[in-house]
Copies of this chain bind each other. A is one copy, B any other.
């Protein structure tokens, strides 16, 4: 245990030094957060497939409960019950246009985690850092429960619970609870809890600020710097369903799945479910009594309960959809919480975009029309006025101020950007698979997968740390 304790102290020091925020006591967030034995009890696991570049290098780290796919190196870090999913890393030879220059990748891209402490964090996509096109870097960073580090290199950052950093770079930033940032190269920013900030410099900027009093009910830090609220309670309440999955050496999916779809062995599919063609259900997704139409997907930490997806529905990482009916091609953004009840179902039409970090907590039946942009905090049909707009109407605007949301700039570029991204996500996930290799995506490419496990030392000086490991693909 001694070496792990030393490591944690060292990580806290590094993060503290890099955050440059005297008021932020990093140790308070970290010390005692993970029960000592948990570092050695829970196994990490990594996927082997024939379709993804493979390379793992683990050095002097605790990896308990974490899933790895693709190319990743972890050094001097604690990565706890997280998902490090490198299936969208850029390949060698790819040319990336950055600031007008064409950069060709000299090597396959890899995720590099160093001097960081990640808890239940999702890492996915690829580096959007012009300075490091081959390295998706996570350095000197603390990231807490259900945060998403998505296509964003982070250095010297604190990413709070349920926060998302998306397709940007963050250096020395504090990203508050349940805030969402997709705003270019950020340095020294302090993002308030519950702020949704989407900015394409020189093109558009969108801001939404969740009411702090409302947000506190869903997610906040208690006096001991531990996350609390509805979101945490919700996730905790489904933990037991995952136990049989993690207890099995080779967990099996009990339900019938079409050959073109992939349901991870490390997901939960319970109750009366129907899974269509070209569907992807990622590890740590939870599907209960729901219908996933053709081309739909559920990413990590998604919960889809008593709901119907008509088809081609993306549920981004951490999306929760309960007692909802989603029309075709309606998209649910990161960590959104769409919470209908039996008596107050939420019906969302077709081709809607539910923005990341939207909360719908229905007290009456709600129906959202086709082609809507949806954001903010919605409890009633009446709330739609200030929290939705028709995408078509919005795309004609160059500014909008509605409730707690404000937008300036080229709304058409914003809308087209979202539409393009959703198409890209569908393609990447294999939603359009027609049997040809070109249309295959995650749902098809992850089919032939095996999982290896990594457990830490169970005792002695190194208790809780994993041995040094290097895993490389076979070649001949």
| Interface residue ranges, A against B (CB under 8 Å) | 3, 40, 43, 48-50, 54, 60, 246-250, 447-463, 465-474, 476
Give Cα A451 to B43, complex, Å.
9
Residues of chain B with a CB closer than 8 A to A451's CB: 453, 455
Report the nearest B residue to A3, measured CB to CB: B476
Let me know if A474 and B469 touch, CB within 8 A. no
A247 CB to nearest B CB, Å: 5
Let me know if B472 and A50 touch, CB within 8 A. no
Indicate how many identical chains form the complex: 2
Given known contacts A453-B453, A455-B450, A462 and B247 CB-to-CB distance under 8 angstroms: no
Residues of chain B with a CB closer than 8 A to A40's CB: 450
Can you list 20 contacts pairing A with B, beta carbon distance less than 8 Å?
A3-B474, A48-B455, A48-B458, A48-B467, A50-B458, A50-B463, A248-B248, A248-B249, A448-B459, A448-B460, A448-B463, A450-B456, A451-B453, A452-B453, A452-B454, A452-B455, A462-B474, A467-B471, A468-B471, A468-B472
Let me know if B50 and A459 touch, CB within 8 A. yes
A274 CB to nearest B CB, Å: 26
Let me know if B467 and A470 touch, CB within 8 A. no
Give Cα A449 to B456, complex, Å.
9
Given known contacts A246-B249, A465-B474, A448 and B458 CB-to-CB distance under 8 angstroms: yes
Give Cα A456 to B470, complex, Å.
16
Give Cα A328 to B469, complex, Å.
44
Give Cα A1 to B422, complex, Å.
37
Set B54, B450, B473: member contacting A458, Cβ < 8 A: B450
Residues of chain B with a CB closer than 8 A to A461's CB: 50
Let me know if B469 and A54 touch, CB within 8 A. no
Residues of chain B with a CB closer than 8 A to A459's CB: 49-50, 447-448
Residues of chain B with a CB closer than 8 A to A473's CB: 467-468
Set B447, B466, B470: member contacting A469, Cβ < 8 A: B470
Residues of chain B with a CB closer than 8 A to A248's CB: 247-249
Further contacts, 6 of them, CB under 8 A, given A3-B474, A50-B460, A50-B463: A50-B462, A246-B249, A448-B457, A452-B452, A452-B454, A467-B474
Give Cα A463 to B473, complex, Å.
12
Residues of chain B with a CB closer than 8 A to A466's CB: 474
Residues of chain B with a CB closer than 8 A to A250's CB: 43, 247
Let me know if A469 and B471 touch, CB within 8 A. yes
Give Cα A454 to B452, complex, Å.
5
Residues of chain B with a CB closer than 8 A to A60's CB: 474, 476
Give Cα A448 to B464, complex, Å.
12
Report the nearest B residue to A474, measured CB to CB: B462
Residues of chain B with a CB closer than 8 A to A454's CB: 452
A475 CB to nearest B CB, Å: 8
Residues of chain B with a CB closer than 8 A to A452's CB: 43, 452-455
Most B Cβ at <10 Å: residue of A3, A40, A453: A453
Report the nearest B residue to A472, measured CB to CB: B468
Give Cα A472 to B452, complex, Å.
17
Residues of chain B with a CB closer than 8 A to A476's CB: 3, 60
Report the nearest B residue to A453, measured CB to CB: B453
- By Cβ-Cβ distance, the 6 closest A-B pairs, closest first, are A448-B459, A50-B460, A450-B455, A470-B470, A468-B472, A448-B458
Give Cα A50 to B50, complex, Å.
34
Set B50, B450, B463, B474: member contacting A468, Cβ < 8 A: B474
Most B Cβ at <10 Å: residue of A43, A452, A459, A470: A452
A187 CB to nearest B CB, Å: 34
Give Cα A459 to B48, complex, Å.
10
Residues of chain B with a CB closer than 8 A to A460's CB: 50, 448
Give Cα A40 to B473, complex, Å.
15
Residues of chain B with a CB closer than 8 A to A448's CB: 457-460, 463
Residues of chain B with a CB closer than 8 A to A471's CB: 467-470
Give Cα A7 to B249, complex, Å.
28
Report the nearest B residue to A455, measured CB to CB: B450
Residues of chain B with a CB closer than 8 A to A474's CB: 3, 60, 457, 462, 465-468
Give Cα A11 to B450, complex, Å.
25
